[in-house]
Structure 1
């Protein structure tokens, strides 16, 4: 299944690469991005190629904070009607919840989660499909843009309560602290920022009822047009729930997407898949990433992925990869 990403993710990358002394044409060629990728930000591009492009840019330019630097040249206004609709919500929390609900209409390969907790809400950011690329540049770009949006409402001195990332700490975290503050955790189970309750309750400055009505109509028309793309939506929903250790059954996913269980299963069958197969594939991908990119224990991974015991995860992991989880973790790390 083709995975697409909106070309808006590339805005500003050409000038940044030029300033860093890089060869944009060579990077596009190596990543298999079409030559005209930067000409139309509204065009859809291959998500695999985009992930490869960001990974190569950071590596070839010796710029491990490439995504954070790019975030300084972008903002969420590039989301067009979705951004306008966010501005017309009552509170910052409502705007973030809306972003989590509708970002898929811009890029089915990205998923934003909005989960309430005791401190406020966790806003997490993830790639919605299995891949082999180092995705930290895209993840940091996305979370920095979300943080920047909140800061534009809460004031220039606002920072999330904390930010957390799956991968290990970089050699230098200067730009991370500039973007997210001093409370940054690495080697965690997810990529997320925590927004405090007081900030979530802050009112948005609404452009007015007419603008809100127009934005809602545009988003709903696009949502209706996108309705046939069921498999990516199910995969993204499964990935989001498993990332938080939430119950992930056909019933919960169908309810979250507005389907009956029968309609969900029928739609997936027509696409040549099933809910069980899709959940199994997402579990396999997340288990591998948790083992390699974080220091989370096997028992914690099993619990997050919905297994009653670590032994059940071990059996599943052997079926997926032919080795035990601990052996895989040991062999994958330098």
Structure 2
């Protein structure tokens, strides 16, 4: 599901510092964090796995809010410092829209301005990263936004695509506004009055320099295309039908197996790795649905037996599906 999607390796510093401040051992998480230098591009699936390993060591509700609240501009690389150097919040928001792929190259961002306010939203065209990843990202976004102004602004509402948690209070206390779940897009909305507010650390000379650097980095990123979206949809369909093979997926795309292999090779994508990532992403989504049994989830993922699903999920995350469902609940 998340093949070809990445986050900045600088985010590993956020998790490392969180583990240190909370005095959490999490040896497997720490070992994997060491594999990703700050200037690397880390697969989104690896970022989600790292968050899960943190959750295995810290079972508090709404853990992502605690992680996201520790974010600093350095954890967003050049884009973090670029936002701080802008003149106004509106200008920083435009830079965020332009350069967000440098930090989170996943589901595309959409910014809308209406009489209701300014909304920044992310859909699920490339899958659902899960509540922990979503709340970490939105909490980090809110924390960075609060750093920009002398008088931090609060959102007017926050909406998540994920299932309603047992307790809304941690979310409402953190965001200082109504928070709801079960929407088509994850969205942060705030008053358009904030767009003209000056930024505390504005520096036009530094901004020009950082923009040059950000533009250069942006040019190195691969161009997203419709083929990968169609491929992921075909993979999900093949899993539901219990036939997740390269031949079946190629037929669904109306191309030959050899053409599919060539296109995957052109994008440095391994079919097996993409299949595993798709299964993991779907597993996280299905485990959040209390109406689905583990046996039903295994079948939806193309496994003939639940035991095979249990072994695969433990290999991916270090947890059994039952343990992961307990942490999500």
TM over 0.5: yes
Rounded Cα–Cα distance in structure 1 between residues aligned with 2:77 and 2:33: 25
Rounded Cα–Cα distance in structure 1 between residues aligned with 2:208 and 2:227: 25
Distance change in 2, residues 1:212/1:234 (3 Å): farther
Match of residue 231, structure 1, among 203, 208, 225: 225
**How many residues are matched?**
253
Rounded Cα–Cα distance in structure 2 between residues aligned with 1:49 and 1:97: 28
**Which position in structure 1 is the counterpart of 2:140?**
145
Distance change in 2, residues 1:128/1:321 (3 Å): same
Partner deviation per Cα, 1:277-318 (whole Å, 9 max, x = no partner):
xxxxxxxxx999999979xxxxxxxxxxxxxxxxxxxxxxxx
Match of residue 12, structure 2, among 10, 14, 33: 10
**2:187 matched to 1:192?**
yes
Rounded Cα–Cα distance in structure 1 between residues aligned with 2:74 and 2:175: 20
Contact kept? 1:76, 1:146, Cα under 8 Å: no
Q: Which runs of 5+ in 1 are unaligned?
A: 236-269, 274-285, 295-319, 323-333
Contact kept? 2:157, 2:188, Cα under 8 Å: yes
Rounded Cα–Cα distance in structure 2 between residues aligned with 1:178 and 1:159: 11
Match of residue 36, structure 1, among 31, 34, 39: 34
Shift of residue 111, structure 1, vs aligned partner = 4.1
Distance change in 2, residues 1:98/1:6 (3 Å): same
Distance change in 2, residues 1:97/1:157 (3 Å): closer
Distance change in 2, residues 1:7/1:222 (3 Å): closer
Contact kept? 1:151, 1:158, Cα under 8 Å: yes
Rounded Cα–Cα distance in structure 2 between residues aligned with 1:183 and 1:15: 29
**Which position in structure 2 is the counterpart of 1:52?**
49
- TM-score of the pair, normalised by structure 1: 0.60
Rounded Cα–Cα distance in structure 2 between residues aligned with 1:225 and 1:209: 25
What secondary structure is seen at the aligned counterpart in 2 of 1:34? Answer: helix
After superposition, the CA RMSD in angstroms is 4.3
Distance change in 2, residues 1:53/1:84 (3 Å): closer
Contact kept? 2:149, 2:200, Cα under 8 Å: no
**2:113 matched to 1:116?**
yes
Match of residue 156, structure 2, among 152, 158, 161: 161
**Which position in structure 1 is the counterpart of 2:97?**
100
| RCO comparison, higher one (Cα < 8 Å, 6+) | 2
Rounded Cα–Cα distance in structure 2 between residues aligned with 1:209 and 1:142: 27
Q: Which runs of 5+ in 2 are unaligned?
A: 230-261, 266-280, 290-299, 303-328
Contact kept? 2:28, 2:53, Cα under 8 Å: no
